[in-house]
Structure 1
Amino acid sequence: MALLVCLSLVAGLLTAFYYWTKKKFSYWSNKGVIGPTPLPIVGNFGTVMLQQESAQLYVKKVHLKYKGEKLVGIYRGSQPAILVRDPELIKHVLIKDFNIFQDRGISTSSSRLSDNLFGADGEIWKILRQKLTPVFTSRKLKDMIPLILKCSNSFTKYVDNLIEKNVEHEIRSLTSKYTLEVIGSCAFGLDLNTVSDEENEFSLIPKKIFKPSIYVRTLVILDMIIPGIKKKFNTSSEIQDFFVNLVRSVIHERKGKPSNRKDFMDLMIELREQGKASRRKEDGVSEIEIDDLMIAAQSLVFYTAGFETSAASMSFLIHEMALNPEIQERIHDEVCRVYEKYNGELTYESTKEMPYLDMVFDETLRKYSVAGILFRKSLADYTFPGTDVTIPKGMPVMISANGLNADPEYFPNPNEFNPENFSPENKKNIPQCAYMPFGEGPRNCIGLRFAKVQSMLGTAAFFKHFKVEPSSKTKRVLEYDPKGIVLVTAHGIWVKISKR
């Protein structure tokens, strides 16, 4: 009898689970939206949860599979989400109907570090965007050029010494030394001395951010299955402590007052002196407290975005130049002409006189989208224009940047590295929102000009002095780390560097 009761209970639970699953995973089919077939519990992200492929490469695969579809229905665990493929609809999400899609909806942490310009939503994001925009004016960028050039000179000297050893070089680790030095100098006024063989806490902390522990990765997986569970756990105390201590150290060094550097930390100290930052709106004034934790949160996103994405893009560019020597020589010739025109010293204006390097940089960002998914959350029920598809308030929205960049509808032979995709005559034919390396609309990357300037100056200095070619470890087709938060190669990016 007891066995019969147990069997009946199991059968009942399995039946209930079956109908629950059927109801949960019939959401998109009931709306007539096609998409990949989900599996129980994991939805469409089983391979991501098992760390067999990264989320951005999986979403790219889905984007490319459903050619001709404007919208694709997917399931993140049991939660429905929608993938927007069509550039016109993407334009509505990111620009025209921005008021409905202004939030990313990606914060799953209880830590105040999530109150940063990238992850924050609502009024916190609006205030931060308004207050931090002055850091990236053309005038501020011009003031930073001498600091960036000092870092690029240190970088080329370091590489020059490495070449004497006549060994193969992992280029991602080299470019990260340069970009981390730039961020330390331009954002925090620090000489980090990362362009050396020595490792310090500043060069080690990115590994903890971009290569999270098994514990943190497990919580991320559980959060896909049970949305919101990650907020119940604090997963960033070590990272938070690092940035809070960094902020307090800089503030102490500047005696609590802005210096004459006019850098990121100066602006944050000015806001800290005010105590609160506010924004006027129709129904009153919104305020947020600017304390050390709030400054640490902004420092985190400036540090990681300015360091990691630029280092990755530079390394992918150098990899392609090793495989495309004719393009590399054309860059070298252009850079040498500009150096000669400006008496051997680059300037802010000189970056605008390297159009071919700019094309190569854009093509690198197309072929290797470091941050491959744009996330948004609907703040109201919304019907996509020209369709009968309505999504409810709170629905996650995804856009695959690397899917668009690999779509032959917009880029012929997308697997080929071809800077001519961005020649003046071809660039104007790319639909708006089909190429968005820095996002699009009011919530695009605030530091896009800084990122491009630091990358172009570093790249120009590198190819002025050095030549790269394939080494015995060079892979023509790169393999990617399935655990990577951003686009990271599984085995590094190897080239052989020689002096010019």
Structure 2
Amino acid sequence: MGLLFETSPVEWLTMAIILFTSVWYYFKSEYSFWKKKGVRFISPVIPFGNIKDMILLRKATGEMLKVLYDEFPEEPFVGTYELTKPMLIIRDPELIKRVTVKDFSYFQDRGVPVNEELEPLGSHLLNLTGKKWRTLRSKLTPTFTSGKIKMMFHLMIECAEQLKDYLEKPAQNGEILEMKEAVAKYSTNVIGLCAFGLQFNAINESDSEFRRIGRRVFETSVIAAELRMLQSAYPSAMKIFPMKIVPDEVNKHVIRTVKEVMEYREKNNVSRNDFMQLLIELKNKGRVHDDEPVKSEDKLDRTSHKETETNVEFTDNLLASQAFIFFVAGFETSSTALSFCLYELALNPEVQERLRDEIDSTLEKYEGKITYDAIQSMSYLDKVVAETLRKYPPLPSLFRAVTKPYVIPGTSVRLHVGMKVMIPVCGLHYDPQYFPEPEIFNPENFSDDSRARRPHNAYLPFGDGPRNCIGMRFGLLQAKLGLCVLLSNFKFSVCDKTQLPIKLDPKIMVMASESGIWLRINKRDM
């Protein structure tokens, strides 16, 4: 201790200079990765790399990605740094197609770190890797075929009618409502009936347990958001900062609910055409081998299989994890898309009226009934939903991790195993070469002519290839049905509480409004 006090100011200054110089050389070395490879890169900021605005919660993920995407508009790919970790941003639709489809075997994983002991609900399809993911994906795919989803349509109708009844009184009074919460109640009920076979009563009961659970999943603090980014860049940090992404309350509730539903159905010999029934069948089969052929009506879902087999034991936690991600992804993405769509329809009343006219004329052909076939026949509805997902993609970026050393075609750039590749969905969706005047809500971006002129991989609200969103058809149908029922009965307009322009929440990785979607609702003039 005496030596510490005897240190002279010059010695303190010398040690400080040595420490500063060491840190400076460390970061200079780390940030030389892309320069050595001859890849154009966005200048990093010590110690944040290229995600300073996201780390400091100044910008939402989607907004930050647009800035990075626009930095080098002529480059097919650009080097960036996630803190000190090199990450490649891919801008070229053809290269994106290679990563997601053609050369998928080199990019099979998402690069999301998971501690299964710490996070019992973390072993879901979104996070799983390698053969275990491939096996489980092939087993869960049958639930999401068009035929199976059509069989669930009557359950969705039931939930949509409940939403209509819930909104009748405020519409008669011309009240102002936060629409994200209103449609989230609808989405929660849909998932309850179609996935769990349970009535969650999220619309009629303000204290619905599963609606509360849904809110808890997406509640986050500034510290939690920062730690999540740290864990993403440095998976080993999970050992130092073992923070749970999903609260204990949610873990316990979902696992208990799934277990109770399974036990009840098996004990009472109850069988339904839903997601839970598939999980029960998988559990009863015990271990499933990965040497079985993959069957899917979607050719992009056919993954290449090797002769080696992988045992997958369907434990209670693994099954509950699949139900959990179905619940979270199902209600959040659909309710987000629905609320953002209502926001744009309120801002663009001419689009709202044109869509309402299509709904009216179509329902006349179907004797006033909203049917599965009626919804599938509405072309303008499809354009409106597609345009909503362009402006507000559920996930503003897609990640893939390099699983085998890969040389980018036509270059000498070699990507090593474990490196992250990021596809900037928001950047692509707001690129004027693909979507003229991208800030304007224009459903005609999805006319046949516009689609034909645009590269397929410039529009990726659900990803592409074998790791695309397995519930895409389900989510789209749920959102379209909600719009049909809402516009058939109500009109939506902006009010004093409507945020113009909308501000995105920087604490949440999915696309979300920071202060909600506030609109005025009125009964429709019949």
Give the shorter-chain TM-score range. Answer: over 0.9
Pairwise CA distance, 1:287 = 1.1
Give the corresponding residue for 1:496: 520
| Alignment correspondent of 2:464 | 440
Q: Contact between 1:257 and 1:270, CA under 8 Å: does it hold in 2?
A: no
From the superposition, tell whether residues 218 and 326 of structure 1 become closer, same or farther in structure 2 (CA, over 3 Å).
Answer: closer
Match of 2:262 in 1: 251
Alpha-carbon distance between aligned partners in 1 of 2:220 and 2:254, rounded to the nearest angstrom = 17
Change (3 A) 1:125 1:191: same
The answer to whether 1:11 aligns with 2:35 is no
Superposed displacement of residue 200, structure 1: 2.1
In terms of mean alpha carbon deviation, does 280-289 or 325-334 score higher? 280-289
CA offsets 1:62-101 (integer angstroms, 9 cap, x no match): 0123211111111111101000000011011001100001
Shift of 1:387: 2.7
Between the aligned partners of 1:155 and 1:286, the Cα distance in structure 2 is 44
Give the partner amino acid of 2:279. M
Query: TM-score, normalising length from structure 1?
Result: 0.96
Change (3 A) 1:132 1:226: closer
Match of 1:369, SS state, is coil
How far apart are 1:215 and its partner, in Å?
Answer: 5.1
SS state of the match for residue 70, structure 2? helix
Residue among 361, 365, 380 paired with 1:356: 380
Counterpart residue type for residue 29 of structure 1: K
Q: Which amino acid aligns with 1:248?
A: K
- Determine the structure 2 residue equivalent to 1:305: 329
Output the amino acid matched with 1:265. Answer: M
Shift of 1:426: 1.4
Query: How far off its partner does 1:481 sit?
Result: 1.1
Counterpart pick for 1:177 among 167, 178, 185: 185
Q: Structure 1 residues 355-364 or 23-32, which shifts more?
A: 23-32
Task: Give the C-alpha shift of residue 197 in structure 1.
Answer: 5.3
The SS at the match of 2:387 is helix
Q: What is residue 91 of structure 2 aligned with on the other side?
A: 85
Do 2:171 and 2:523's aligned partners in 1 also have CA atoms closer than 8 Å?
yes
Give yes or no for contact 1:48–1:58 (8 Å, CA) kept in 2: yes
> Which of these residues, 489, 496, 501, is aligned with residue 472 of structure 1?
496
Q: Which of 224, 230, 239 in structure 1 is aligned with 2:250? A: 239
Return the alpha-carbon distance in structure 1 between the equivalents of residues 84 and 169 of structure 2: 54
SS in 2 for 1:163: helix
Aligned residues: 500
Q: Which position in structure 2 is the counterpart of 1:386?
A: 410
Choose the corresponding residue for 1:486, options 510, 520, 526: 510
Q: Tell me the distance in 1 between the aligned counterparts of 2:76 and 2:45.
A: 23
Determine if contact 1:258/1:266 at 8 Å carries over to the other structure.
no
TM-score (norm 2): 0.91
Cα shift readout 1:200-237 (whole Å, capped 9, x = no counterpart): 22111122222224553342243256442125515133
Deviation at 1:333, TM superposition (A): 1.1
Give the CA deviation at 1:256: 5.1
Most deviating of 279-288 and 407-416? 279-288
2:16 alignment partner AA: V
64-73 or 458-467, larger mean C-alpha shift: 64-73
In 2, distance between residues paired with 1:120 and 1:140? Answer: 24
3-state SS of paired residue (2:89): strand
1:277/1:289 contact within 8 Å kept: yes
**Equivalent in the alignment of 1:279:** 290
Structure 1 segment 77-156 matched on structure 2, within 5 A = 77-110=83-116, 111-156=119-164
- Check conservation: 1:382, 1:391, Cα contact below 8 A: yes
Identical columns (%): 38
How much is the aligned-residue C-alpha RMSD, in angstroms?
Answer: 1.7
Asked whether the equivalents of residues 42 and 225 of structure 1 are also in contact (C-alpha less than 8 Å), the reply is: no
What's 1:399 paired with? 423
What is the CA–CA distance in structure 2 between the aligned matches of 1:126 and 1:21, rounded to whole Å? 38
**Bigger mean CA offset, 156-165 vs 402-411:** 156-165
CA separation in 2, counterparts of 1:29 and 1:314?
Answer: 44
